[in-house]
Every structure is written in C-alpha cells, then in structure tokens.
C-alpha cells in the first residue's frame, strides 16, 4: 500500500522564486532565506518520495472569479508553470500522477468531501516556489506531483477544522492505494502577511511561532483557530495557513499513531511582504 512518510510546510512568497530565477541567491537580503532551506534540499535528496501531494493555493491565475472551487485536485498528466504577468518561471513542467490522483478523488469524495476534478491547469508561484525551495534548480522535478488547490483567496474560505478533517480523509485515501508508493504531503502558503489595505505589511512573529508550536504538538488546537483569528492576527493573507492543516491532518499521530519527528524548523522575517515559515515532520513507523 502507499504510505505518507512525511509532511513539509513552507511559505511560497513569489519574490523568492524571482530571486532564485534572477540569480540573487547570495545577495545579503536573500541569503538567510535560502540558508534556511539548505537542510531541506539535502533532506529531499536523502528522502526522495515517489509522489508529492502538494496542497497550495492558486492566486487568481488558473481560476478567475468566474469559477472558484474550494478544493480542487489536479488529475492531469502534467501542469505547466503559469504566466503571472512576467512570463512563466523558467522551471520544469510539473508531471502529475493521474492514477493516484483519481484514486484519491474517488476515496475522498466517497468520504463526503466535495472535490473539483481538474484535468487542465497551469500552476502559479503557490506551487512552483515551494518546489524550488525544496529542490533547488533541477532540470526536472524529482518526482510526480499531485496539485491540490484550496480557495483561500475569495471569501468564503474553508475553516481550519475542515482542512484538518480533509487531511485525515486524504491519509485514508493514500493508504488504500494498492502500490507501495512513498508519498509526501506538503502544506504551503503563509505565514502572517497582508498585501492590501491599511494594514499592508503586517507580520506577527508571536502568532506565527505559536502556530508552529501548536501545529507540531497539538494540531487539533491549531485546527480550532477560527478564520477571523487568522485575519486579525496574521493578516488577510495569513489565512493561507489553513492549508498547512490539511498536511498535518494526514500525519499518522492524528490517526492514533506515534508523534512525528521534527526534522527541521525555520522561521525568518522578512521576505518581500511576509514572514517565511518552514517545517519538516517525519512519520515514525
């Protein structure tokens, strides 16, 4: 059977992608950000998955206001990096895993979560920046990726509680797939940031670090945070953090297994308009 071996959590700040693509890796402003991912890139080499289930949000790139799926699973063979206004990022095309994606869709929909099936989608910085941070600048991404898009852009957005429950359903789905695949689940976006209005530029280190603590040790408590608290404490775009709860809900301890090992934890301010947060949690077998 397939198995979720680890979860990865990371911000997806678009300026990080631009810094990497424009060769600004070693500039004083960016060097501390990339330093926080050196461990992670080695960890990816040492813990290469067969598939990454990548929870992310589209930023009105693939989905416009014409259609806003709350949860959408990418079932295509491949996903092209999107043109977000400056041309597509010079990164590899993302290969999908249609068979596992279709199985997860079947299982999760039968567990009463309404997923939108997506057979064609370009992927924006929400997906490509986490891949760049974790994998560097390879000719091809190390494995197939199943993109799972969550609406955190246009209200109403799903609650953290629902995202956490969805993670549990995804775990059951993966673990009922009849092939011994090593699957990682990534929760991306966040941490505190607000890009608009009078509070633009808001960053809340206390909230972010308390969230990281809770996510590690008491994820059910993190899942109980109401959406208005994210908006108040972490800024309007801090709501992206609910996506981390999907990945956390898919970890073994939530289903009665042992607590995960914290392989890596990193937090840095600033990167563009936001705080960068990052965690790697390994399931203990």
User: Shortest approach of ligand DHB to residue 16 CB, angstroms?
Assistant: 9
User: Shortest approach of ligand DHB to residue 19 CB, angstroms?
Assistant: 12
User: Shortest approach of ligand DHB to residue 242 CB, angstroms?
Assistant: 13
Reply yes or no on whether 97 is catalytic: no
Given 12, 125, 264, 278, the catalytic residue: 125
Beta carbons of 230 and 214 less than 8 angstroms apart: no
Whose Cβ is closer to ligand DHB: residue 171's or residue 193's? 193
User: Shortest approach of ligand DHB to residue 94 CB, angstroms?
Assistant: 18
Residues 254-273 that bind ligand DHB (CB under 6 A): 272-273
Tell me the C-alpha distance between 128 and 194, whole Å. 21
Instruction: List Cβ neighbours of 62 (8 Å cut-off, separation of 6 or more).
Output: 82, 118, 121, 122, 123, 124, 149
Reply yes or no on whether 193 is catalytic: yes
Size of the site for ligand DHB (CB under 6 A): 13
Given 12, 59, 193, 278, the catalytic residue: 193
Kindly indicate which of the ranges 6-14, 28-36, 72-80, 143-151 contains the residues binding ligand DHB, using the contact rule CB under 6 A. Answer: 6-14
Is 278 one of the binding residues for ligand DHB (CB under 6 A)? Answer: no
Kindly indicate which of the ranges 7-15, 167-175, 212-220, 261-269 contains the residues binding ligand DHB, using the contact rule CB under 6 A. Answer: 7-15
Tell me the C-alpha distance between 277 and 269, whole Å. 9
Is 111 one of the binding residues for ligand DHB (CB under 6 A)? Answer: no
Residues 188-247 that bind ligand DHB (CB under 6 A): 189, 193, 195, 237, 240
Footprint on this chain of ligand DHB (rule: CB under 6 A): 12-15, 59, 189, 193, 195, 237, 240, 272-274
């Amino acid at each position: 059977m397939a198995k979720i071996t680890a979860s990865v959590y990371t911000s997806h700040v678009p300026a990080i992608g631009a810094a990497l693509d424009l060769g600004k890796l070693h500039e004083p402003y960016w060097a501390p950000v990339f330093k926080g991912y050196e461990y992670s890139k080695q960890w990816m080499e040492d813990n290469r998955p067969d598939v990454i289930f990548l929870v992310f949000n589209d930023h009105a790139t693939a989905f416009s206001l014409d259609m806003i799926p709350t949860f959408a699973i990418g079932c295509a063979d491949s996903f092209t990096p999107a043109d977000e206004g400056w041309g597509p990022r010079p990164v590899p095309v993302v290969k999908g895993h249609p068979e596992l994606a279709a199985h997860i869709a079947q299982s999760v929909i039968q567990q009463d979560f309404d997923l939108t099936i997506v057979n064609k989608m370009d992927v924006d910085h929400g997906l490509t920046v986490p891949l760049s941070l974790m994998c560097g600048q390879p000719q091809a991404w190390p494995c197939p990726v199943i993109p799972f898009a969550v609406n955190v852009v246009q209200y109403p957005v799903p609650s953290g509680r629902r995202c956490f429950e969805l993670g549990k359903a995804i775990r059951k789905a993966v673990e009922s797939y009849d092939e011994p695949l090593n699957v990682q689940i990534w929760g991306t976006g966040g941490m505190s940031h607000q890009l608009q209005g009078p509070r633009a530029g808001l960053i809340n280190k206390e909230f972010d670090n308390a969230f990281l603590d809770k996510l590690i040790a008491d994820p059910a408590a993190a899942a109980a945070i109401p959406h208005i608290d994210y908006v108040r404490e972490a800024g309007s775009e801090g709501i992206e953090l609910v996506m981390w709860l999907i990945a956390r809900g898919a970890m073994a301890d939530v289903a009665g297994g042992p607590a995960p090992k914290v392989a890596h934890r990193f937090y840095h301010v600033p990167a563009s308009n936001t705080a960068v947060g990052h965690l790697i949690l390994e399931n203990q077998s």
